[in-house]
Structure 1
Amino acid sequence: MGLYNSISETMGQEATLFTKYCFTLVCFFDDILKDSKNARFYYEILEKDASRKERLYLIKTFNRSCLDFFNKSYEKDDLDAYAITNYGAQKEIYMDYYDRELPFDAHKVVEYLVRNTFRILAIDKETLDNTIEQAFRFSESGQLSEIRFLI
């Protein structure tokens, strides 16, 4: 949540909730994958399934907020099931990447994780592609360099 708040402050009021959430996910996963200590720490968290409830809560909260922002209707049970499957997908792809079982680079892993998160919103491909690309530029710009959110 701290990373999201920092991004919100940096981007200001004009940025949409969807944009802030997308940027948060890209920065979070990008920073984890670029730093070997963060990568190992995150792998151990996932391997032990530590903080599962907190991560599910965050996924549900952000998804509910985005669905509300886009005026999408949803059932609570659907949102709960989606949060669990999204959590599982994030965990498995990250662990497979870390174990070097995937044939693509970190950039592609981050892109997949973010894309999968937003499937529930049915956002058009062009909007999502543009936002993800902007988020990578933002992540690489160093504007959040003072944040050390894992180690």
Structure 2
Amino acid sequence: MNLSLTRRPILVGALVAPLGGPPALLLYQLISDSISQGRIGLQYLPAILLIYLVFGVPVAYISMAVLGLPYVAWLQRTGRLTWLSVCGGAAALGAFALPTALWLLSKTSQPSFENMIGGGLAGLACGALFCVVTWPNNSFKPNLLRSSKRVA
């Protein structure tokens, strides 16, 4: 079996991909706040940005090390390393990781649907960035009909 299913090593993607999560989560939070509170929700932008960078980046890297890297390694071993499987799995792992991280940090926070959506979007952003960096080979390679003859 060919284990070289990517153009770049998986470790490079694992080091870069978590940087996509906090900006995606920040964008989701800003859109959510501006819809619910209007322009007033944007007045705390510098504080929100600092919180997302200080807490979001470490949580993203821990999630990648604990959940994402084993998942991608499993996909590579089984020959299923595709854009769809990486992005779908990353979204599912993000929807689980964010509420869990918030619960571990505060112990009073209850998992909410909003946190799951935000985590799923952050995970999707990390998965997409991983795919852009490592560029998994396309698993769909149609074979041309070899028995067809050209009609002239």
TM-score (structure 2 length as normaliser)? 0.33
The structure that has the greater radius of gyration is: 2
